[in-house]
DNA sequence: CAGACAGCACTTTTT
DNA sequence: GTGCTGTCTG
C-alpha cells in the first residue's frame, strides 16, 4: 500500500478541515503545529494542551498536503492514548480514507513484523505471548535445567528478561555479570534457551516485538529504506516514557535523512516520567537535542487546567528534583482558587470514611461523581476505599483492576482459539488439554511432551502420532483422538465462520460451558457472562487471526461506561486525565514515596516518586485533597506512619491543613522532616483509642456488599461473617455439588457433618454446600 | 484424580 | 489479611 503510483494518484485527493483548526491555539502551540520540518522537541507541562497540539499537527501536515495520511507515523505508549488520537484525528480531517499509522510502539512494531515475519524466522500468524505465558514457559525451562523455582522464581527471571529487552539487548549482548546473577550463572543460557523455545513455538513476547523489529531493520537495509521512503513524518507522544529499545527503533526509522533534517517530533514532559522502573529512560528526552542536532525546542507552559494554587503546589514540589529541563507552569487566571487541603487521619479506614463524606458533600453541592477521582500510589490502597463506597452506596469505578482478558475463563477460551489458529502453540495446548477435565492428567501430558521433544514437533502433532500407537492407555487414547478431530473440525469450520460464532461453538462442543454450568460457585455465572462478552467483542472481527492480534496487543477493553461514578485508580494510570476534584490519600513516608522505590533506586527512585506527586496534583482542576494516615496495616500488621516528605515540600501559603479530631499524638503538618526522627511512641495504647474502637465496631458491622455492578461486570464481594456464625442450623437441608441433597447433623466451626440422601454421612466444608 | 490443607508471597506501577 | 501454588491424602 502507498507505493509511489497509488500515492501519486491519491494525492489528487483534497482534504478539508472540519473546523478552523488553528483557532484558539496560543503562540507556542501554534508554532509547535507549524514547525513541521526538521526535528522538534515539544516540552509540554501538564495540562498545556499537548494532545491537542499533536493532533492538530497531524491534521496540518495532511491538510497542507505535505504528506498523505499513510505517510505519517504517530506512536503512543498506551492503547488508550492511541485510541483517543485515532478518534480525534478521524474527526478532524474530512475525508479521511485511510488513517495515519497510529498506535502503540508495540502494535506498530507488530504490524511491521507481520509483514516480514519470515525474515526473522517466524512464520505466518505468529503468537504474541503475554506475561502469563512467559512465566509458564520460563518455569518449564527452569524445570529442564533443574533449577529450584523456589530459590530462583520464574517471575524474577521474567523481570530480568524484560529489563534486557527494554534495553535492546539480545542474548549475546547481556553483560555476564548481570546474567550470572540468576541461578548461579545460568541466566545467560536461559535467555538463549528461552529465545530458542519461542522460535519453536513460533511466538514472540512483548519485548521481542521491538527487538525483532530492530533486528529486521538492521539485517535488511532495503526493507528499512522502504520505511524511510514511506514515513515522511514521525510523531511520538509521551517521549519521556520511551525505553532504549523504543529509542533504537525510532532512531532506525528516522535514519532516512540526516539527523538534523529528520522530520521527527517528540512530545513529552520530563517531569511526568514515571515509568523508569520498567526501563523508560528520561535520558532520551533530555538528550534529544544532541541526538538530533539543530532540533527546535518549544516549551508549553501555559496551563489551561488547574487553579493557581494547584499549579503552585505542583511546581514547588517538582522544583526539588535535579536534572530537569525546567519548565514552570502558569495560568492567566488571577484568583488562586481553593487551597490544597492536607488532612491527617487516624488510620486508612478513617481516611476512606473522610473521602467518602467529602465526595457526598461535593455531590450534594452539585458536582457529578464523574468529576471526582481518588488517586492512590498502590492498588492495595483501593480495597478500603471500595468497601467504604459500597457501604455508602456511592457509585464508583475502578480503573486498571483485573483485566478482562486476563481472567481465567477468557484465557481458556483464547487458548482454544489460539490452538485453532496456530497448531504449534504448545502453551495453549497445555492450558486446555484438561480443561474441562477430560481425564488427561500429568502422566498423559508428560508422555505427550516427551514424544514432542523427541520428534521435535509441537504437542498437537505429537498427539496425532501417539494416538496411532499403543503407548497410551485406551481411555486416554480415545479421548485424545476425539480432541484432535475436534480441533481439525474447528479449524476447518473457522475458515468460513465468523470468529464470534466459532468461539461459541468451541465453548459448547468442548464441554467448557457444561463445566461452568455444573459449577455452582458464585463466580461461574460471572464467567459465563464474561464469555458472552468475549463473543460479543469478537463480532467486529472478520478473521480469527485479526482478533487474536488485537487482543494480544490491546489487553485493556475500552469501557464505554456512561454512568456517573467516582473513579478510583493508581497515580500511574491517571496520567493524562483530569478531574475537578482529586483525592490523594496515603501520603505517608513508605507508602508514598514508596519505600521499595527508594530502596531499589535511591535518589532516582525518590525523584520518580516526586514526579508521581506532581502528576497526581496536576490532575486536579479545582481542588486537590491530600491525606495521610497515622496508622496503616501493611501485610496484616499495624504500623505507624509519618506524613510523606512531600507534604513538607508543599508551599504553605497554598495549603490548608485540617486536623481531624482523632489525630492522635500527632506528627503535625510541617513537623515531618524534624519529627521523622522522633520515634517516641504515641500509640502505646492504640487499642483503646476511639479510632481503634470505631474501626473494630465498623468491622463487625460490615456485611459483605453482595454482588454489585462495576463497569458492567458482576463483582462478587466475599462476605466476612466474622468467624463463628455459619448461617446454617442443625437440620437445614443443603445441596452439595458431589453428594447431592442432605440434612445437617452437626456443625463444627465451618465444618458440617451432613447426612446425604444418597451418599451417606459426610463431613464437608461449609463453603461447598448451598441451601437446598 | 480431585479435594484439602499448608506454606508462601504479596502490595508499585504496564505494553 | 488474602489468595495462590504445590503437595499430600483419600
What does DSSP assign to residue A152? S
- Are A529 and A714 within 8 A, CB to CB? yes
Residues 276-295 of chain A sitting with CB below 7 angstroms of strand B: 277-278
Positions on chain B within 7 A of a protein C-beta: 1-5, 9-15
A263: cis peptide before it, omega within 30°? no
Stretch A552-565: mean pLDDT: 71
Tracing cell 502494535 back to the chain, one arrives at: A107
pLDDT of residue A144: 81
pLDDT > 90? residue A42: yes
Q: How far is the CA of A406 from the C1' of C9 (A)?
A: 32
Least confident segment among A47-56, A87-96, A678-687: A678-687
Distance CA A364, CA A369 (A): 10
Maximum Cα interatomic distance, chain A, rounded to a whole number of Å: 86
Name the CA radius of gyration of chain A, rounded.
29
Least confident segment among A117-131, A360-374, A379-393, A752-766: A752-766
Nearest nt to A377, CA vs C1'? B12
Q: How far is the CA of A109 from the C1' of C4 (A)?
A: 34
Distance CA A262, CA A38 (A): 5
Rounded alpha-carbon distances, angstroms, from residue A755 to A729, A739, A743: 14, 10, 5
Q: Is A487 exposed, middle or buried (0-12, 13-18, 19+ CB in 10 A)?
A: buried
Rounded alpha-carbon distances, angstroms, from residue A637 to A100, A632, A633: 53, 8, 5
pLDDT level of residue A666 (50, 70, 90 thresholds): very low
CB of residue A77 closer than 7 A to nucleic acid strand B?
yes
pLDDT of residue A753: 65
pLDDT of residue A770: 63
Nearest nt to A376, CA vs C1'? B12
Distance CA A356, CA A156 (A): 38
CB of residue A372 closer than 7 A to nucleic acid strand B?
no
CB of residue A575 closer than 7 A to nucleic acid strand B?
no
Q: How many CB atoms lie within 10 A of CB A708?
A: 16
Tens-digit pLDDT profile for residues A277-331: 888 988 899 899 999 999 999 999 999 999 999 999 999 999 999 878 888 899 9
Cell of A155: 517471575
Positions on chain C within 7 A of a protein C-beta: 1-3, 6
pLDDT of residue A3: 46
pLDDT level of residue A533 (50, 70, 90 thresholds): confident
Nearest nt to A402, CA vs C1'? B14
pLDDT of residue A146: 79
pLDDT of residue A487: 94
Tens-digit pLDDT profile for residues A613-635: 999 999 999 999 999 998 888 77
Q: Is A746 exposed, middle or buried (0-12, 13-18, 19+ CB in 10 A)?
A: exposed
Q: How far is the CA of A674 from the C1' of C5 (A)?
A: 45
Residue nearest to nucleotide B11 (CA to C1'): A380
Nearest nt to A612, CA vs C1'? B13
Q: How far is the CA of A691 from the C1' of B5 (A)?
A: 36
Residue nearest to nucleotide B13 (CA to C1'): A572
Q: How far is the CA of A763 from the C1' of B6 (A)?
A: 20
Q: How many CB atoms lie within 10 A of CB A658?
A: 14
Least confident segment among A38-42, A413-417, A431-435, A760-764: A760-764
- Are A654 and A309 within 8 A, CB to CB? yes
Q: How far is the CA of A426 from the C1' of C7 (A)?
A: 26
Q: How far is the CA of A430 from the C1' of C7 (A)?
A: 21
Q: Where are the alpha helices (DSSP H) in A255-294?
A: 282-286, 288-291
Nearest nt to A717, CA vs C1'? C2
Distance CA A627, CA A344 (A): 6
CB of residue A696 closer than 7 A to nucleic acid strand B?
no
Distance CA A535, CA A538 (A): 5
Q: How far is the CA of A326 from the C1' of B13 (A)?
A: 25
Nearest nt to A105, CA vs C1'? B15
- Are A350 and A663 within 8 A, CB to CB? no
Q: State phi, psi for A265 to the nearest 5 degrees.
A: -120, 120
Distance CA A375, CA A569 (A): 5
Give residue A725's region: left, alpha or beta (phi > 0; psi -120 to 50): beta
Of A452, A427, A499, residue with least CA distance to A204: A427
Active site residues of A: 50-51, 237-238, 272, 619
Q: Is A419 exposed, middle or buried (0-12, 13-18, 19+ CB in 10 A)?
A: buried
Residues 378-437 of chain A sitting with CB below 7 angstroms of strand B: 378-380, 400, 434, 437
Of A69, A71, A73, residue with least CA distance to A82: A73
The H or E element that residue A622 is part of is strand A620-634
CB of residue A444 closer than 7 A to nucleic acid strand B?
yes
CB of residue A185 closer than 7 A to nucleic acid strand B?
no
Q: How far is the CA of A149 from the C1' of C5 (A)?
A: 12
CB of residue A634 closer than 7 A to nucleic acid strand B?
yes
Q: How far is the CA of A352 from the C1' of C2 (A)?
A: 20
Q: How far is the CA of A421 from the C1' of C8 (A)?
A: 39
Residues 127-156 of chain A sitting with CB below 7 angstroms of strand B: 131, 150, 153, 155
Of A101, A107, A72, residue with least CA distance to A556: A107
- What average pLDDT does the structure give for chain A? 81
Of A262, A258, A256, A247, residue with least CA distance to A227: A256
CB of residue A263 closer than 7 A to nucleic acid strand B?
no
pLDDT of residue A131: 80
Which residues contact residue A200 at a Cβ distance below 8 angstroms, ignoring those fewer than 6 apart? Answer: A424, A456, A458
CB of residue A639 closer than 7 A to nucleic acid strand B?
no
Stretch A536-557: mean pLDDT: 84
pLDDT of residue A747: 65
Q: How far is the CA of A637 from the C1' of C1 (A)?
A: 9
Nearest nt to A130, CA vs C1'? B15
CB of residue A166 closer than 7 A to nucleic acid strand B?
no
CB of residue A227 closer than 7 A to nucleic acid strand B?
no
CB of residue A68 closer than 7 A to nucleic acid strand B?
no
pLDDT > 60? residue A673: no
pLDDT level of residue A468 (50, 70, 90 thresholds): confident
CB of residue A463 closer than 7 A to nucleic acid strand B?
no
pLDDT level of residue A406 (50, 70, 90 thresholds): confident
Which residues contact residue A228 at a Cβ distance below 8 angstroms, ignoring those fewer than 6 apart? Answer: A253, A255, A256, A257
Tens-digit pLDDT profile for residues A698-728: 333 322 222 222 222 222 222 222 223 346 6
Nearest nt to A441, CA vs C1'? B1
For chain A, the straight-line distance linking the first and the last C-alpha, in angstroms and rounded, comes to: 64
Residue nearest to nucleotide B7 (CA to C1'): A150
Q: State phi, psi for A474 to the nearest 5 degrees.
A: -50, -40
pLDDT of residue A742: 72
Cell of A128: 504474541
Amino acid at each position: 500500500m502507498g507505493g509511489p503510483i497509488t500515492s501519486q494518484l491519491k494525492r489528487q485527493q483534497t482534504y478539508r478541515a472540519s473546523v478552523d483548526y488553528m483557532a484558539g491555539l496560543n503562540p507556542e502551540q501554534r508554532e509547535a503545529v507549524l514547525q513541521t520540518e526538521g526535528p522538534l522537541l515539544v516540552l509540554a507541562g501538564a495540562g498545556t494542551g499537548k494532545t491537542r497540539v499533536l493532533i492538530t499537527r497531524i491534521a496540518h501536515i495532511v491538510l497542507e498536503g505535505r504528506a498523505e495520511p499513510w505517510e505519517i507515523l504517530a506512536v503512543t505508549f498506551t492503547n488508550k492514548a492511541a485510541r483517543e488520537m485515532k478518534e480525534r484525528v478521524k474527526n478532524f480531517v474530512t475525508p479521511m480514507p485511510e488513517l495515519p499509522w497510529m498506535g502503540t510502539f508495540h502494535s506498530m512494531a507488530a504490524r511491521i513484523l507481520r509483514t516480514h515475519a519470515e525474515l526473522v524466522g517466524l512464520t505466518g500468524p505468529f503468537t504474541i505471548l503475554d506475561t502469563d505465558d512467559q512465566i509458564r514457559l520460563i518455569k518449564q525451562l527452569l524445570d529442564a535445567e533443574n533449577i529450584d523455582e523456589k530459590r530462583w522464581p520464574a517471575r524474577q527471571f521474567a523481570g530480568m528478561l524484560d529489563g534486557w529487552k527494554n534495553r535492546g539487548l539480545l542474548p549475546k549482548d547481556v553483560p555476564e555479570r548481570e546474567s550470572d546473577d540468576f541461578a548461579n550463572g545460568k541466566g545467560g543460557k536461559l535467555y538463549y534457551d528461552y529465545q530458542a523455545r519461542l522460535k519453536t513455538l513460533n511466538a514472540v513476547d512483548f519485548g521481542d516485538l521491538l527487538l525483532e523489529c530492530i533486528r529486521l531493520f538492521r539485517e535488511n537495509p532495503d526493507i528499512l529504506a522502504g520505511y524511510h521512503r514511506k514515513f515522511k513524518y514521525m510523531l511520538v507522544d509521551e517521549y519521556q516514557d520511551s525505553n532504549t529499545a523504543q529509542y533504537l527503533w525510532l532512531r532506525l526509522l528516522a535514519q532516512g535523512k540526516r539527523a538534523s533534517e529528520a522530520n521527527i517530533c517528540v512530545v513529552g514532559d520530563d517531569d511526568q516520567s514515571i515509568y523508569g522502573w520498567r526501563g523508560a529512560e528520561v535520558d532520551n528526552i533530555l538528550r534529544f537535542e544532541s541526538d538530533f542536532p539543530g532540533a527546535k525546542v518549544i516549551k508549553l507552559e501555559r496551563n489551561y487546567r488547574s487553579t493557581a494554587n494547584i499549579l503552585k503546589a505542583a511546581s514547588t514540589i517538582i522544583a526539588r528534583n535535579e536534572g530537569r529541563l525546567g519548565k514552570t507552569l502558569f495560568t492567566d487566571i488571577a484568583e488562586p482558587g481553593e487551597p490544597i487541603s492536607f488532612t491527617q487521619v487516624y488510620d486508612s479506614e478513617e481516611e476512606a470514611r473522610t473521602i467518602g463524606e467529602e465526595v457526598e458533600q461535593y455531590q450534594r453541592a452539585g458536582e457529578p461523581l464523574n468529576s471526582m477521582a481518588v488517586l492512590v500510589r498502590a492498588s492495595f490502597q483501593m480495597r478500603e476505599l471500595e468497601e467504604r463506597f459500597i457501604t455508602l452506596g456511592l457509585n464508583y469505578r475502578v480503573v486498571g483492576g483485573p483485566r478482562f482478558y486476563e481472567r481465567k475463563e477468557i484465557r481458556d477460551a483464547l487458548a482454544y482459539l489460539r490452538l485453532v489458529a496456530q497448531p504449534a502453540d504448545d502453551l495453549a495446548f497445555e492450558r486446555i488439554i484438561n480443561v474441562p477435565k477430560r481425564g488427561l492428567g500429568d502422566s498423559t501430558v508428560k508422555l505427550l511432551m516427551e514424544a514432542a521433544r523427541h520428534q521435535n514437533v509441537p504437542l498437537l502433532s505429537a498427539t496425532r502420532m501417539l494416538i496411532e500407537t499403543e503407548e497410551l492407555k485406551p481411555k486416554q487414547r480415545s479421548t485424545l483422538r476425539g480432541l484432535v478431530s475436534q480441533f481439525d473440525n474447528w479449524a476447518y469450520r473457522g475458515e468460513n465462520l465468523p470468529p464470534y460464532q466459532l468461539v461459541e461453538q468451541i465453548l459448547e462442543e468442548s464441554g467448557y460451558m457444561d463445566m461452568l454450568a455444573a459449577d455452582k460457585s458464585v463466580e461461574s455465572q460471572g464467567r459465563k457472562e464474561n464469555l458472552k462478552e468475549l463473543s460479543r467483542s469478537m463480532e467486529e472481527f472478520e478473521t480469527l487471526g485479526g482478533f487474536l492480534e488485537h487482543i494480544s496487543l490491546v489487553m485493556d477493553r475500552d469501557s464505554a461506561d456512561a454512568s456517573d461514578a467516582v473513579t478510583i485508580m493508581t497515580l500511574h494510570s491517571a496520567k493524562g486525565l483530569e478531574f475537578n476534584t482529586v483525592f490523594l490519600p496515603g501520603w505517608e513516608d513508605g507508602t508514598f514515596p514508596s519505600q521499595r522505590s527508594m530502596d531499589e533506586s535511591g535518589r532516582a527512585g525518590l525523584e520518580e516518586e516526586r514526579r508521581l506527586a506532581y502528576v497526581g496534583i496536576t490532575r486536579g482542576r479545582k481542588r486537590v485533597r491530600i491525606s495521610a494516615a497515622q496508622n496503616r496495616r501493611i501485610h496484616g500488621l499495624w504500623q505507624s506512619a509519618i506524613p510523606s516528605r512531600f507534604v513538607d515540600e508543599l508551599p504553605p501559603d497554598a495549603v490548608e491543613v485540617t486536623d481531624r479530631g482523632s489525630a492522635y499524638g500527632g506528627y503535625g503538618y510541617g513537623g515531618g522532616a524534624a519529627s521523622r526522627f522522633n520515634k517516641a511512641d504515641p500509640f502505646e495504647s492504640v487499642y483503646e483509642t476511639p479510632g481503634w474502637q470505631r474501626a473494630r465496631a465498623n468491622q463487625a458491622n460490615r456485611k459483605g456488599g453482595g454482588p454489585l455492578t462495576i463497569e458492567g461486570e458482576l463483582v462478587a464481594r466475599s462476605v466476612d461473617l466474622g468467624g463463628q456464625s455459619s448461617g446454617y442450623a442443625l437440620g437445614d437441608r443443603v445441596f452439595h455439588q458431589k453428594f447431592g441433597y442432605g440434612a445437617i447433623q452437626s456443625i463444627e466451626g465451618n465444618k458440617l457433618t451432613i447426612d446425604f440422601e444418597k451418599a451417606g454421612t459426610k463431613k464437608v466444608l461449609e463453603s461447598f454446600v448451598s441451601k437446598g
